[in-house]
């Protein structure tokens, strides 16, 4: 299955490092810090995350 694109999540009050999130077609959801090795590897392959949504 194709690898889904990571999406940035707006920084929450208790967070110091931003988080990214993505969902696979089978429903599995992954999220990690933007400093996590798996996300950095994905970025290094030339990928770009989707922007965070505006907070209401």
For residue 29, the surrounding DSSP H or E stretch is strand 29-33
Q: Does residue 12 belong to the site contacting another protein (CB under 8 A)?
A: yes
Q: Does residue 17 belong to the site contacting another protein (CB under 8 A)?
A: yes
Q: Does residue 48 belong to the site contacting another protein (CB under 8 A)?
A: no
Q: Does residue 56 belong to the site contacting another protein (CB under 8 A)?
A: yes
Separation of alpha carbons 24 and 2, rounded Å: 8
∠ Cα 27 23 10 (to 5°):
135
User: What are the residues binding another protein (CB under 8 A)?
Assistant: 9, 12-17, 19, 21, 23, 26-33, 35-38, 56
């Amino acid at each position: 299955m194709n690898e889904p694109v990571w999406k940035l999540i707006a920084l929450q009050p208790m967070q110091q490092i931003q988080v990214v999130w993505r969902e696979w077609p089978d429903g599995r959801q992954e999220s990690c810090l933007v400093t996590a090795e798996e996300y950095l590897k994905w970025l290094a392959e030339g990928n770009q995350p989707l922007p965070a949504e505006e907070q209401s």
